[in-house]
Amino acid sequence: MNSTSVAQLSAGRIELRLARLHIRPVTAVAVVAALIVLVGDSQALALIPLLGVMSEEFHLTASQATVVLAILGIVGAGALPVLTRLAERVSLRRFLLLGVAMTTLGNVLCALAPGFTLLLIGRIVLGLSAAIPISLALVREKSTDAHGTNRGLGLVTAAVGVGVAFSFLLGGTVLQLQGSVHTVFWVMAVLAALTFVVGWILVPDYRVQSRTRIDYLGAALLIVGLTLIAVAISYASEWGSGAVLALVIGFVAMGGWVWWELSVSSPMIDLRRTFRRSAVPAYFAAGLFAAVAIISNLAVTSYAEFTPVPGVPELDYGYGYIVLMASLFLMPTAFFILFGGFFVGRVITRIGIKTSFFIAGALTVVGFTFMALGHSEIWQNAVGMGIWGIAYALGSTTANAAFLHAAKDSEASLFSAAATTVTGTIGSLAAPVFTAVLYATAVVVPVNGAKVSVPTAQSYTNLWWVLAAAGVVMLLMAVLHKTVQYQGGTEPQTVIAPDATTGAPTAEVLPEER
């Protein structure tokens, strides 16, 4: 029995199992996708309030701690789009399970790490998991209508709310129980392993029946270009002219990638099909929502943990809370994302993509403008972050739904890979933007004989204004977005055009925009 027959037999068994359990395939995929997002958020967010403790425990310098946090986005920027496209041609199920397995392995390596080197290797392994974009593609491919896709994505969004709450409470609770950052990694490894088991039982397979060749050069150019750009942006202040050189090389590689993808007959990502007004604004919106989420989480917890310095107006702010107490500042956001996730699918179906975009962008502006005008009281932080939670639940789900609606049958991985290219790049800006804005108005104070830069109260006000400005950009994306009718149940319209590299005919898919 060949590998294809084995795969078909396995797929048949899974479909039969789901039928016996009375679980629709799209529901099974959405549940597992939600677990994957929960694990992904945990590994990305849990370390944020533990940064100081982690630095002591693993003997990290400030720059090493920054690398540990940023490496997920840097590695994933170039690798995840490529892995997502390869999954489509081999097996979405296999690559999804492989991604979850790598998440388990990465957390185990981090838990075993005595210091920086193995910790960094573990985080690199975590960054190479493409389970999240693949799971989104599977949600689309297993849906039969727009509402099914919206509902599945809403469930995934609800998991984000759980992830936000769980990630921050996990670290604080473990420390209170005399645990360590190593313990946090072990908990996440166990959660990832359980997700693998659930995925193995429930996730059906999907693959494109295609014999087209793999675009190795396109994959290499994309990985090199996006990785160099992410590295250069993340370490601009430390590398100076070296960062500029890396940025230039990265953009040159990306320029070469665009030229190649437009010329080759079987591109890694078909730019003509995926970079259209029915999808591009959604890519950027998704990236903005992810970046704003990271920056706002960092800002509100850092503010809560800062110990006020009485008599020094610039430093007389914050609450001096421990990690566990600071984590409670994220509960309003987590609450509205969690419960909003169960309703936003219906909302998007009812009012449409464009209107949903507008409302989410407007709420983002309102929430962070409110916090910029006043955030010294706990209730002000709760109200502002609660409004942001509603905005994220609606906006993030809408962004994912928008580009997946534009995908015809068998194209979900293609669009998900394109989205990952954009969102990964924008997401890699979150930590550098947070650091740059926070320390732009910092003051230098002596600490144990050394001069240390400390953010001021104005630093946080500036951060909230920057995030409100991001909401304005989201509104612009809503204006630019062009609604496309849900493409489920449709096949690509083929247009024969000569391949610029070989002169042979090549098929191009042109989604119908409205």
Report the alpha-carbon distance of residue 396 to residue 322 in Å, rounded.
30
Please indicate, yes or no, if residue 514 is contained in any of the structural domains.
Answer: no
Please indicate, yes or no, if residue 348 is contained in any of the structural domains.
Answer: yes
Report the alpha-carbon distance of residue 187 to residue 189 in Å, rounded.
5
Taken in order 44, 286, 298, 391, the sign of the CA dihedral is negative
- Choosing from 230, 248, 267, the residue where a domain stops is 267
Query: How many C-beta neighbours within 10 Å does residue 236 have?
Result: 16
pLDDT at 242: 84
pLDDT at 207: 67
- Number of helices and strands in the chain (H, E): 22, 4
| 458, 355: one domain | yes
Question: Are the CB atoms for 453 and 443 separated by under 8 Å?
Answer: yes
pLDDT at 205: 77
| 60, 201: one domain | yes
**Amino acid at residue number 465:** W
Question: Are the CB atoms for 389 and 334 separated by under 8 Å?
Answer: yes
Please indicate, yes or no, if residue 204 is contained in any of the structural domains.
Answer: yes
Please indicate, yes or no, if residue 500 is contained in any of the structural domains.
Answer: yes
Residues of the chain with pLDDT under 50: 1-7, 9, 492-514
| 209, 256: one domain | no
| 294, 379: one domain | yes
pLDDT at 82: 82
Report the alpha-carbon distance of residue 114 to residue 110 in Å, rounded.
9
Please indicate, yes or no, if residue 171 is contained in any of the structural domains.
Answer: yes
Q: What is the pLDDT of residues 377-412, one digit of tens each?
A: 999 999 999 999 999 999 999 999 998 888 887 788
| 279, 420: one domain | yes
- Choosing from 244, 267, 290, the residue where a domain stops is 267
Report the alpha-carbon distance of residue 434 to residue 159 in Å, rounded.
25
CB-based contacts of 35, cutoff 8 Å, min separation 6: 159, 194, 195, 198, 199
**Which residue range(s) make up the domain with 253?**
215-267
| 237, 277: one domain | no
| 247, 311: one domain | no
pLDDT at 338: 86
| 136, 221: one domain | no
Number of domains in the chain: 2
| 74, 36: one domain | yes
Integer CA distances (angstroms), 2 to 5, 6, 7, 91, 92, in order: 5, 6, 9, 15, 19
Please indicate, yes or no, if residue 118 is contained in any of the structural domains.
Answer: yes
| 66, 181: one domain | yes
| 83, 107: one domain | yes
Which tokens is 469 given? Answer: 């400005």
The strand pairing partners of 498, in sequence order, are 505
| 252, 389: one domain | no
Question: Are the CB atoms for 372 and 384 separated by under 8 Å?
Answer: no
Domain of residue 34, CATH code: 1.20.1250.20
Please indicate, yes or no, if residue 339 is contained in any of the structural domains.
Answer: yes
Burial label, 274 (beta-carbon count in 10 A; 0-12, 13-18, 19+)? buried
Please indicate, yes or no, if residue 447 is contained in any of the structural domains.
Answer: yes
pTM to 2 decimals?
0.81
Q: Which residue has the tokens 């989604």?
A: 511
